[in-house]
Structures are given as C-alpha cells and as structure tokens.
C-alpha cells in the first residue's frame, strides 16, 4: 500500500544551521508529494508541493525535489530560524485518491 517514511525526530539545530529532513515514499502510479508544517496549537499548513518527477517545490526558503529514482522528497533549508520551530510532515496523494498519506512527523527545534 501507499506509505511515507520520514526521518525520526526530534531535531535540534542552532539558528542559521542547515536543515535536512529525509522523506521516502512507496506508492503506485505517480503521486503528488507535499510537506506540511504544524506550529504549536495550530492545524497543518501546506509548506510546499511537487506533482511530478524532478519538480522542485519551494517556499519560505525551504525546498524539496521530487526524486522518482530514489522515491524521495527530502526537505532542506539553508539557514533555519527560531521561527521555523514546528513539526514537519511529509505526505503523498496518489493517483485517483483524494486523501493524503502522512509520515509520522519530525519535530524541529531551533535554538538561538
């Protein structure tokens, strides 16, 4: 079945450090891939997405590239800020379905 495997957390980084959160997926067909972010006490917000192989999604300094050959969609940011502290979820939407499959989430804490 369809699934998403996400890097276990928590991740603690100093401000301005480089961030990578790994995400790999298993799916039939050609899924769309997403990164969502959840700030404390809030619902999920779409951070970025990619709908086909080699697409790069980017937003707020974050980026992720849809790699079909490695079935991966790793999230990266060159310089994190304290305000980036949140839980990050990788997700996929398979062809024909209208529901998201989420990874387990990775809690990021950025310290000044």
Query: Taking CB under 8 A as the rule, does residue 105 contact other proteins?
Result: yes
Q: Which residues sit opposite 104 in a β-bridge?
A: none
Its sign, for the CA torsion 65, 18, 48, 39, is positive
Write the binding mask 24 to 43 for other proteins: x where contact by CB under 8 A, - elsewhere.
Answer: --------x---x----xxx
Nearer to other proteins, 43 or 112 (CB): 43
Distances (CA, A) of 70 to 27, 30, 67, 99: 12, 13, 6, 23
Compute the distance between CA of residue 74 and CA of residue 27 in angstroms, rounded to an integer: 16
Query: Taking CB under 8 A as the rule, does residue 89 contact other proteins?
Result: yes
Query: Taking CB under 8 A as the rule, does residue 81 contact other proteins?
Result: no
Query: Taking CB under 8 A as the rule, does residue 83 contact other proteins?
Result: no
How many other CB atoms sit within 10 Å of the CB of residue 103? 24
Q: How far apart are the first and last CA of the chain?
A: 41
Query: Taking CB under 8 A as the rule, does residue 3 contact other proteins?
Result: no
Query: Taking CB under 8 A as the rule, does residue 62 contact other proteins?
Result: no
Query: Taking CB under 8 A as the rule, does residue 11 contact other proteins?
Result: no
* Interacting residue with other proteins among 11, 13, 17, 100 (CB under 8 A): 100
């Amino acid at each position: 079945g369809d699934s998403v495997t996400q890097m276990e957390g928590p991740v603690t980084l100093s401000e301005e450090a480089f961030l990578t959160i790994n995400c790999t997926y298993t799916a039939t067909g050609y899924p769309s891939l997403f990164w969502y972010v959840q700030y404390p006490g809030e619902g999920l917000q779409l951070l970025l997405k990619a709908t086909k192989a080699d697409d790069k999604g980017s937003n707020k300094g974050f980026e992720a590239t849809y790699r079909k050959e490695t079935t991966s969609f790793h999230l990266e940011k060159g310089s994190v800020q304290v305000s980036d502290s949140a839980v990050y979820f990788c997700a996929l939407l398979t062809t024909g379905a209208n529901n998201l499959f989420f990874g387990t989430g990775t809690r990021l804490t950025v310290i000044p």
